[in-house]
A and B are shown apart, each in its own frame.
Chain A
Amino acid sequence: APLSKQRPIQKTPNSIDQNSEKPRNTIMAEVKLFGCWYSPFSRRVEMALKLKGVEYEYIEEDLSNKSPLLLKYNPIHKKVPVLLHNSKPIAESSVIIEYIDETWEGPSILPKDPYERAMARFWVKFIDEKCSVAMWKAFAIPGEEGEKAKEEAAELLKFVEEEIKGKKFFGGDNIGLVDISANFIGYWFGILQEIAGLELLTKEKYPNLCKWIDGYINDNFVKDNLPAKDKMTQVLKPMAQPGYSGYKPKV
């Protein structure tokens, strides 16, 4: 049976917008999150909820044995995360995060300006659909296809490097949508690199991006929302082995 855990509300950390003086959430609403502790998509939704100070019930899913409730609430993709708000389900992390930003008071996750919003959405889409896919393949797929993926990832990361240049966070002074959504680059990939002995995302080749990563994983708010490295390594290590037949994210 899936575990139910009450996650505590985080105190206001230094990376979020201190100028936001809106009151804490007192809406007596039922909020549940179906997630997976090692999924970057699940963790980014949790970050968004915590930024807004939303109390929620967390339900841990075993991705190799999905619960009937998850399949009921996300019949199309059958994936985590799924947010349930007053019994209404929302799936797809980018959709959920925008919903959270629009529904609850608190620090803004997306920028207010329409052009900046479009840029933030663009980078999230690029990072998720192109960059991270190539980076995962570089880790998980052996042989020629893996080598090609490494080359592709190296090229794509150059765009991200350019984008973060001169900025503390993608969101400016405070973490925003792109920072939250780039957690795969920010944390997960570092662990994958170590496991596979990859030298793809290095300080020499991507000094600005690596500087962002340092700031990101050491940020008081962000680091409370990252799964422990040793546990992550335990989960990710087998995925690189040939003949692994357990759960593996689809690429």
Chain B
Amino acid sequence: MADEVILLDVDISLFGMRVRVALAEKGIEYEHKIEDLVNKSQLLLEMNPVHKKIPVLIHNKKPICESLIIVQYIDEMWKDKSPLLPSDPYQRAQARFWADFIDKMVYESGIKIWTTKGEEKETGKKEFIENLKLLEGVLGDKHYFGGEEFGYLDVALITFYSWFYAYEAIGEFSIEQHCPKLIEWAKRCMERESVSKSLADPHEIYDFVLILRKKYGIDQ
């Protein structure tokens, strides 16, 4: 029986992009279903009744939700090609710890930059840079976060790169100025087809963010 793999997603979601990168790394063919989040499909509501969010991976009719959980599932299910999580348990724990850090701290501070104004926005910027600097320290002199091989933590963070342009334009700052090594790493990752084909266009993301800011009156 051939595998049926469907991904419910939206183009600009950095969470959805993680799943796309993982699927591409493993060479898995899948049906990419783009959702309209204002008018969610019956399929999405059935497959993720708890959160009603994308991404959702549907593998042979069984849904998996939450991007990092999906990426781990993909890694465990298709374990013969391009392993994403390290083989050593301690290294695995470190990768999971930092991926959790990215979701809690990097994501939250990034949101502050484009959804708030004044002092809260400045705090968001400051925290965002601090958090990226910490990650730069974790990367060190390695080629990837995974070492020689592109891995789980690279997948977790690289999708933010597509959002950097929007953060920088709205926050009026340069990420490269603060974290040059991280930008070098990001450009290395972008040389991988799995990444370059999975990440959304930064200008498209910026346009979307501008529309939302106008809609919610954040830019006033």
Which A residues form the contact surface with B (CB < 8 A)? 76, 85, 88, 90-92, 94-96, 98-99, 102-103, 114-115, 117-118, 121-122, 125-126, 159
A residues within 8 A CB of B90? 85, 88, 90, 99
B residues within 8 A CB of A125? 66, 69
A129 to B, closest residue via Cβ: B104
Number of B residues with CB within 8 Å of any CB on chain A: 24
Do B93 and A98 touch across chains, with their CB atoms under 8 A apart? yes
Q: Tell me, in angstroms, the Cα distance from A246 to B64 when the chains sit together.
A: 41
Residue of B66, B77, B100, B101 near A122 (CB, 8 A) is: B66
Do A114 and B93 touch across chains, with their CB atoms under 8 A apart? no
Do B89 and A118 touch across chains, with their CB atoms under 8 A apart? no
Do B93 and A96 touch across chains, with their CB atoms under 8 A apart? yes
Q: Which of A94, A99, A126 has the most CB of B within 10 A?
A: A99
A residues within 8 A CB of B70? 118
B residues within 8 A CB of A98? 92-93, 96
Distance of A98 from chain B, by nearest CB (Å): 7
Q: Tell me, in angstroms, the Cα distance from A96 to B96 when the chains sit together.
A: 10
Distance of B174 from chain A, by nearest CB (Å): 25
Residue of B89, B94, B97, B101 near A102 (CB, 8 A) is: B89
Q: Tell me, in angstroms, the Cα distance from A90 to B70 when the chains sit together.
A: 23
Distance of B123 from chain A, by nearest CB (Å): 17
Residue of B49, B73, B134 near A117 (CB, 8 A) is: B73
B59 to A, closest residue via Cβ: A115
Beyond A76-B134, A125-B66, A159-B50, whether A115 also contacts B73 by CB under 8 A is yes
Q: List 14 A-B contacts (CB under 8 A).
A: A92-B96, A102-B89, A103-B89, A115-B73, A115-B77, A117-B72, A118-B64, A118-B69, A121-B69, A122-B69, A125-B66, A125-B69, A126-B50, A159-B50
B residues within 8 A CB of A90? 90, 93-94, 97
Beyond A88-B90, A99-B89, A122-B69, whether A114 also contacts B77 by CB under 8 A is yes
Tell me whether B29 is interfacial, beta carbon within 8 Å: no
Tell me whether B65 is interfacial, beta carbon within 8 Å: yes
Residue of B51, B64, B66, B101 near A115 (CB, 8 A) is: B64
B65-81 near A? 1/0 per residue, CB < 8 Å:
11001101100110000
Tell me whether B62 is interfacial, beta carbon within 8 Å: yes
Which B residues form the contact surface with A (CB < 8 A)? 49-51, 59, 62, 64-66, 69-70, 72-73, 76-77, 89-90, 92-94, 96-97, 100-101, 134
A residues within 8 A CB of B50? 126, 159
Given contacts A76-B101, A114-B73, 5 further A-B contacts (CB under 8 A): A88-B90, A115-B73, A118-B64, A118-B70, A125-B66
Nearest 9 CB-CB pairs, A to B? Answer: A114-B76, A102-B89, A118-B73, A99-B93, A95-B96, A118-B64, A114-B77, A90-B93, A121-B69
Q: Tell me, in angstroms, the Cα distance from A88 to B97 when the chains sit together.
A: 13
Do B100 and A118 touch across chains, with their CB atoms under 8 A apart? no
B70 to A, closest residue via Cβ: A118
A85 to B, closest residue via Cβ: B90
Residue of A85, A88, A95, A99 near B100 (CB, 8 A) is: A95
B residues within 8 A CB of A159? 49-50
Beyond A118-B69, A121-B72, whether A92 also contacts B97 by CB under 8 A is yes
B50 to A, closest residue via Cβ: A159
Do B69 and A102 touch across chains, with their CB atoms under 8 A apart? no
Q: Tell me, in angstroms, the Cα distance from A128 to B197 when the chains sit together.
A: 34
Do B62 and A115 touch across chains, with their CB atoms under 8 A apart? yes
B residues within 8 A CB of A126? 50-51
Q: Tell me, in angstroms, the Cα distance from A96 to B76 when the chains sit together.
A: 19
Q: Tell me, in angstroms, the Cα distance from A125 to B103 when the chains sit together.
A: 12
Q: Tell me, in angstroms, the Cα distance from A114 to B78 when the chains sit together.
A: 10
Q: Tell me, in angstroms, the Cα distance from A88 to B76 when the chains sit together.
A: 25
Q: Tell me, in angstroms, the Cα distance from A94 to B96 when the chains sit together.
A: 9
B residues within 8 A CB of A76? 101, 134
Q: Tell me, in angstroms, the Cα distance from A167 to B90 when the chains sit together.
A: 33
B residues within 8 A CB of A102? 89, 92
Q: Which of A92, A96, A114 has the most CB of B within 10 A?
A: A114
A102 to B, closest residue via Cβ: B89
Residue of A94, A95, A103, A117 near B76 (CB, 8 A) is: A117
Q: Tell me, in angstroms, the Cα distance from A132 to B71 when the chains sit together.
A: 25
B95 to A, closest residue via Cβ: A95
